[in-house]
Amino acid sequence: MKITFLGLSAFVIEDIERHKILLDPFDDRPEFQLGVDLPGNLEADFACFSHKDPDHYNPLVVSKYPAPGGNILKRTVVGNEFNGDEFMINIFEIDNMTIAHFADQSVAFSEEQLASIGKVDIAIYSPPKADGKLAPKALKVVIDNLNKLNPKMIIWSHFIVPDGWQTNKTTDELREFFRDYLGKNANSNKNYNSRDSFIELCYILENGIDLNQYFNGSIVAGNSIDINELPQTMTSVLFSKMS
């Protein structure tokens, strides 16, 4: 299996037979632009999305491909954002591994959700947007949720990684880098209406770096990873690039 990171929560999963499943392609039209474009040569056999927020759903792209059938998409479970909004946690069976895409999950799982989700080998999971006094509690929710799921591999999502982000920057320098980059490349809209409002995308990456260290993870020098077998103990992956 090959997993490729496209930016934000978008991934392509390619199985051993070279079928490609596109997950949560974001809307990169100018009015929704968050500083990252989908590849111009993007190809897939199937497409699946968690909800219709533009950072998870591009209707022009999704309409090109059929949804994966029940032999691939095994089940869906309702997930919850911090503000109470709901979305679908999509759970796939690919190359005899169970992969769950947790989209915007931001609160603790209920026992009913955990039972419905079931066994997960690979969790694609978003770090929180929180900063300051809210960050420790938000990080604990993520850690507790993942420990209850107990996947063998965690793949961090919902961030962007522009060229130059990882050049020995302090936290303040990284945030200023993101302000500059997103100020030039992202478009103001109802969710992001100023140069500073984009900074939560940097918070997600910062929290992803911390969580990756907590789970003894690695930073992949690229935007894809081949998974032929699962690790023996839980670990995580943070992509250093996106396509």
**pLDDT of 243:** 86
Q: What's the pLDDT at 199?
A: 87
Average pLDDT, the chain: 95
Q: Given this model, what pLDDT does residue 198 score?
A: 81
pLDDT at 196: 76
Question: What residue ranges do the domains of the chain occupy?
Answer: 2-239
Q: Which CATH architecture has domain 2-239?
A: 4-Layer Sandwich (3.60)
Please say if the pLDDT value at position 72 is more than 90: yes
Task: Tell me the pLDDT band of 190, cut-offs 50, 70 and 90.
Answer: low
pLDDT class for 194, splitting at 50, 70, 90? confident
Over residues 181-198, mean pLDDT: 78
Look at the pTM and tell me if it is higher than 0.75. yes
DSSP 144-209: HHHHHH--SEEEE-SB---TTTTSS--HHHHHHHHHHHHHHHB---SS--STGGGGHHHHHHHHHH
How does residue 234 score in pLDDT terms, banded at 50, 70 and 90? very high
Please, is 228 exposed, middle or buried when counting C-beta atoms within 10 Å of its C-beta (0-12, 13-18, 19+)? exposed
Q: How does pLDDT run across 94-121, given as a tens digit for each residue?
A: 999 999 999 999 999 999 999 999 999 9
